[in-house]
Amino acid sequence: MTDTLHYDVTGRGPVLLLVPGGAGHPMGLGPLTERLARRFTVVTYDPLGLAHGRLGRPVAEQRVADWSEGARRVLAEVLPGGASASVCGTSSGALAVLDLLARYPERLAHVVAHEPPCVTVLPDGAARRAELIGRLDGPERPPAEGESATPMGVFLARVLRPFTTYTPAAPPAPGRLTIAAGADSRGQLLYRTAESLAGRLGCGFAEFPGGHLGALDHPEEFADALAEALRSSARTSA
């Protein structure tokens, strides 16, 4: 997390905070935010400022708590006093929004966490985490710093290892959280993780279009599924 907050705002309506996955770079999310902006004021948080001129600069090992604290500060800037927002995070961003809900529930109307990679909730979680890191953290990974740095390089070097140790501490208040997984992820590790986490936390579970990258590969359908999940939660809590 940097001292300066980096985020973009588009649309009109209730505030919806998006926390991207990977290293938090919102690349490719334009079609998703455009669709959501028809119904919401979409605030897209860039935790490391990678889309705002900081890609290539040194990045320390990341902590989930730092991302959630940054998200809280963003909400403090964009929300009227006493108001609450809906929040959606994908992948590593999903871990950040789970932590945000645990720490600052008073600012949140509903949280959707899409395929959070907290694989340690599984009975074989330690082995699955080692498998996940071993598959992604190879010797040919892209650079995390310098002119050739990529968001994937930052993710592999500074985000993947610490974030996959995160486990939500306690169940949220009823009706405040939906864990989502991609329909195309059925049978895969992160789908199983999402189902297990939803059962552990006693919260709703939803299937969204596409797989782990559904927000990028099926942006309009993903946006509509997210909007429906938020409408359903509002009807349930009314």
**Cα gap 120→124, rounded to integer Å:** 7
Across the range 195-221, mean pLDDT stands at 97
Looking at the DSSP assignment, which residues form a beta bridge with residue 10?
42
User: CA-CA distances (angstroms) from residue 107 to 45, 52, 203?
Assistant: 16, 26, 19
Q: In a 3-state reduction of DSSP, which class is residue 45?
A: strand
Share of the chain above pLDDT 70, in %: 95
Main-chain phi, psi angles of 53, to 5 degrees: 95, 5
Compute the average pLDDT of residues 185-213.
97
User: Is the pLDDT reported for residue 137 higher than 80?
Assistant: no
Strands 41-45 and 7-10: antiparallel
- 43 in Cβ contact with 7 (< 8 Å): yes
pLDDT digits (tens, 9 = 90+) for 82-117: 899 999 999 999 999 999 999 999 999 999 999 999
The CA distance from 133 to 17, in Å, is: 28
Which of helix, strand or coil describes residue 96?
Answer: helix
Task: Tell me the C-alpha distance between 39 and 201, whole Å.
Answer: 29
Give 62's DSSP letter.
P
pLDDT category of residue 81 using cuts at 50, 70 and 90: confident
Does residue 2 have a pLDDT over 80?
A: no
Residue 43 has pLDDT above 80, yes or no: yes
Domains and CATH numbers, the chain: 7-237 (3.40.50.1820)
